[in-house]
A and B are shown apart, each in its own frame.
Chain A
Amino acid sequence: MSPEFEWQLIVAGTVLLLAATLVQLTALARRRDGYKPTAIIYAATATVFGIAIAGRWVREGQGPFMTMYEILLSSVFSLCLIFLVVSAAMAVARAGAFVVSPLLLMLCLWLVNESAAATPLPGSFDNPWLWAHVLSGKVFLGFCMAATALAVAMLLRGMLSAGRFARLDAAPEEAEQSIWTLFFVAFICHSFMLVAGSVWAHSAWGRYWSWDSLETWTLVTWLALGGLLHARATFKNMPAGLGHALVVGVFALAFLTFFGVPFLSIAPHKGLM
């Protein structure tokens, strides 16, 4: 696949996510569900980005692991796909689509502004643990995003006039339970991501932990995830709204760790000559 065609696919995916955002915002304003057209758009976006990733993979001979462009590309694909899967298994999670759509659109707009030039994967990085580390990281972020989107919906449900979130109004307890189920899965995946990352780092750089910015903030994110689950068990009368706000806070921390820290620090995930 030529770089030009890849670029066209990414533009097409961005336009699709813009459409999903408009559909969701319109549905919210008109007090309608709007999930079905959004799901179709998500499926189309995941397909388009999946083709772009596969084409790039064949052309460059390596997976999308190295540059910010590749990380954003694979993240939009995985987040889209995970949200579709979660929404299929857990209908109440669909209420969060109005949060997911603009978030994915924002990642796409960031993506189109990044350089598409590939950086070869150093031999020391090419290890099955890299796969385990990256995949568990993507699944973690996908589940954390789904929990957060639902938490935002629950928060807004309490603030806005009744009827805007019919899906949540019908089953508020199920929605509450779903937030914490998704959050717990995210915690498990994050734990595995940390372990797989340490094994990979030991083979790639000869150390399993070095307190660089990315590692430190990943540990802080893990502590925030575990801490919130722990706080919920400790303070049984914690207001549901506070719990939702904290879920959003943990996701914001995870998001900044994923997309901010690696490219602001001394390139911890880049090769050395």
Chain B
Amino acid sequence: MSRLLKKLASLRLTLVGMIALAVLAVVGSRNPDIGTGVTIWPIALLVFNLLAALLSNKVFRTQTGLLVFHVGMLLVFACIGLTVLTGYEGRVELVQGGAFDASQVTTMKQGSWHDHRLDDLEFFQKDVRVNYLPNFIRLDTNSTIQYRTAAGEIREATTGDQRTVNINGYEIAATFNKGFAVLLHWTAEDGREALGSVHFPSYPSFDWKQVTTWTTPAGQTVELELELEEPVADIRRSWTLGRTDLPFEVQIGRSGNAVATARNGESVALEGGTVRVEGLRMWMAYRISYLPYLSWLFVAAMLAIVGLAMHFGRRYVLPADSPMKPRVMEADVHVARV
């Protein structure tokens, strides 16, 4: 057992692990078929190698700086593992005045240990204001939401750029992705009614193509094109995206052939019912993430750096005759000339 531990603690094995990690990181990041998941193997090797070194090498453990650095690295690996296993990341679009609906969230990443609690989130979209400099340079994003805290209180907060809102552990962040939406009121021939929104492509990224498709409750798929009758942006000046009182019309048709045009408040008859345009709104895309171990990952990484600095101080800064200078045998590993 002791021999196996010493073999596993080999410094040469550490180098093999580091080289393998570097190679697989490059190969995995450039080749989606392989993916960066392959880096788990060299990381596992390095973790076992380090644990074995900590257990089997007394001198290694007496070097405080090195010990702190390597324990910090172990904690970094542990926090990365926990972050991957318990983490969650999703995307959702919310229309102004609309409430968050967990069923609309597109999950991007979900750890196998994550306890899905998105249904508990309650928030709804208020105003959106995005300030631009000339030449469509985005300056700042301000998206206001109203939400219910875990204690049941109703609060309002503005997210965007570095500002996020934490609801029940989930971090809600407005992204750069946003655009216009129209509210549509559907009245079926049998009298049933429905109100919903249709989101047009991201604005101003796709200001030249505000077209989308919509399938009516009766099953007819139509093409909707938003025509803003006033310029929203001036490429030469600073401007703000977020006004919803702009004059507009919606062209409704099939694959590019407009069959009708509806302004705000106007109705158009379609197969199985009538649609009425109820207004212009903004939609905002949110990133929803749950990364409870991220702050611990930061602490572990900083601990490792402090360990490095301590080791540097002992080896290079303190005078040679200092009583603090480590007394190390040349044969000992992990120390002498690092």
Contact yes or no, B139 A122, CB < 8 A:
yes
Contact yes or no, A120 B21, CB < 8 A:
no
What is the distance, in angstroms, from A192's C-beta to the closest C-beta of chain B?
5
Central interface residue in B160, B175, B297, B337, by most chain A CB within 10 Å? B337
CA of A97 to CA of B140, assembled, Å:
44
Contact yes or no, A203 B15, CB < 8 A:
no
Chain B contacts of A191 at CB under 8 A?
A: 301, 304-305, 308
CA of A220 to CA of B28, assembled, Å:
13
Please encode chain B, from 195 to 208, with 1 for each CB lying within 8 Å of some chain A CB and 0 for all others: 00000000011000
CA of A195 to CA of B80, assembled, Å:
13
Contact yes or no, A192 B29, CB < 8 A:
no
Please encode chain B, from 210 to 231, with 1 for each CB lying within 8 Å of some chain A CB and 0 for all others: 0000000000000000000000
User: Which residue of A has the minimal Cβ distance to B21?
Assistant: A223
Contact yes or no, A273 B138, CB < 8 A:
yes
Contact yes or no, B29 A206, CB < 8 A:
no
Within residues 119 to 136 of chain A, which ones have a CB less than 8 A from any CB in chain B? Answer: 119-120, 122-124, 126-127
Whether A35 is near chain B, meaning CB under 8 Å from some CB there, is: no
CA of A158 to CA of B294, assembled, Å:
49
Within residues 180 to 202 of chain A, which ones have a CB less than 8 A from any CB in chain B? Answer: 180-181, 184-185, 187-188, 191-192, 194-195, 198-199, 202
Contact yes or no, A122 B137, CB < 8 A:
yes
Question: Quick one: given A234-B15, A273-B138, are A223 and B302 in contact (CB under 8 Å)?
Answer: no
Question: Quick one: given A184-B316, A206-B175, A272-B176, are A195 and B309 in contact (CB under 8 Å)?
Answer: no
Whether B187 is near chain A, meaning CB under 8 Å from some CB there, is: no
| CB contact between B22 and one of A124, A185, A212, A224 (< 8 Å): that residue | A224
Contact yes or no, B139 A211, CB < 8 A:
no
Contact yes or no, B338 A199, CB < 8 A:
no
Chain B contacts of A266 at CB under 8 A?
A: none
Chain A contacts of B335 at CB under 8 A?
A: 233
Whether A50 is near chain B, meaning CB under 8 Å from some CB there, is: no
Contact yes or no, A127 B162, CB < 8 A:
yes
Whether B5 is near chain A, meaning CB under 8 Å from some CB there, is: no
Within residues 281 to 328 of chain B, which ones have a CB less than 8 A from any CB in chain A? Answer: 287, 289, 294, 297-298, 301-302, 304-305, 308-309, 312, 315-316
Within residues 17 to 70 of chain B, which ones have a CB less than 8 A from any CB in chain A? Answer: 18-19, 21-22, 25-26, 28-29, 36
Chain A contacts of B94 at CB under 8 A?
A: none
Question: Quick one: given A122-B137, A206-B289, are A230 and B338 in contact (CB under 8 Å)?
Answer: yes
Whether A164 is near chain B, meaning CB under 8 Å from some CB there, is: no
Whether A55 is near chain B, meaning CB under 8 Å from some CB there, is: no
Chain B contacts of A188 at CB under 8 A?
A: 305, 308-309, 312
CA of A147 to CA of B136, assembled, Å:
44
Contact yes or no, A213 B29, CB < 8 A:
yes
Whether A219 is near chain B, meaning CB under 8 Å from some CB there, is: yes
Whether A232 is near chain B, meaning CB under 8 Å from some CB there, is: yes
Chain A contacts of B12 at CB under 8 A?
A: 234
CA of A171 to CA of B336, assembled, Å:
21
Question: Quick one: given A187-B308, A273-B136, A273-B205, are A233 and B336 in contact (CB under 8 Å)?
Answer: yes
Indicate the size class of the contact surface on chain B.
35 or more
CA of A236 to CA of B141, assembled, Å:
56
Question: Quick one: given A124-B141, A208-B294, are A227 and B334 in contact (CB under 8 Å)?
Answer: no
Question: Quick one: given A216-B29, A273-B138, A273-B205, are A192 and B305 in contact (CB under 8 Å)?
Answer: yes
Contact yes or no, A234 B11, CB < 8 A:
yes
Question: Quick one: given A123-B141, A216-B29, are A233 and B334 in contact (CB under 8 Å)?
Answer: yes
Question: Quick one: given A123-B141, A211-B36, are A273 and B176 in contact (CB under 8 Å)?
Answer: yes
Contact yes or no, B173 A120, CB < 8 A:
no
Chain A contacts of B120 at CB under 8 A?
A: none
Whether A40 is near chain B, meaning CB under 8 Å from some CB there, is: no
User: Which residue of A has the minimal Cβ distance to B135?
Assistant: A120
Question: Quick one: given A202-B294, A206-B287, A233-B335, are A220 and B176 in contact (CB under 8 Å)?
Answer: no
Chain A contacts of B161 at CB under 8 A?
A: 122-124, 126, 203-204
| CB contact between A233 and one of B138, B302, B309, B338 (< 8 Å): that residue | B338
CA of A194 to CA of B289, assembled, Å:
22
Whether B99 is near chain A, meaning CB under 8 Å from some CB there, is: no
| CB contact between A206 and one of B15, B141, B173, B204 (< 8 Å): that residue | B173
CA of A199 to CA of B295, assembled, Å:
10
Whether B82 is near chain A, meaning CB under 8 Å from some CB there, is: no
Within residues 55 to 108 of chain A, which ones have a CB less than 8 A from any CB in chain B? Answer: none
Whether A229 is near chain B, meaning CB under 8 Å from some CB there, is: yes
Contact yes or no, B139 A123, CB < 8 A:
yes
User: Which residue of A has the minimal Cβ distance to B331?
Assistant: A236
User: Which residue of A has the minimal Cβ distance to B20?
Assistant: A223
CA of A197 to CA of B302, assembled, Å:
13
User: Which residue of A has the minimal Cβ distance to B177?
Assistant: A272
Contact yes or no, A230 B301, CB < 8 A:
no
User: Which residue of B has the minimal Cβ distance to A217?
Assistant: B26
Contact yes or no, A220 B22, CB < 8 A:
yes
What is the distance, in angstroms, from B163's C-beta to the closest C-beta of chain A?
9
**3 residue pairs, one from A and one from B, having the closest CB atoms:** A123-B140, A234-B11, A124-B161
Binding site for A on B (CB under 8 A): 11-12, 14-15, 18-19, 21-22, 25-26, 28-29, 36, 131, 133, 136-141, 160-162, 173, 175-176, 204-205, 287, 289, 294, 297-298, 301-302, 304-305, 308-309, 312, 315-316, 330, 333-338
21 contacts between A and B (CB under 8 A): A123-B161, A184-B312, A184-B315, A187-B308, A188-B305, A192-B305, A198-B301, A203-B162, A204-B161, A208-B294, A216-B25, A216-B26, A219-B25, A224-B22, A226-B18, A229-B338, A232-B338, A233-B11, A234-B14, A272-B176, A273-B176
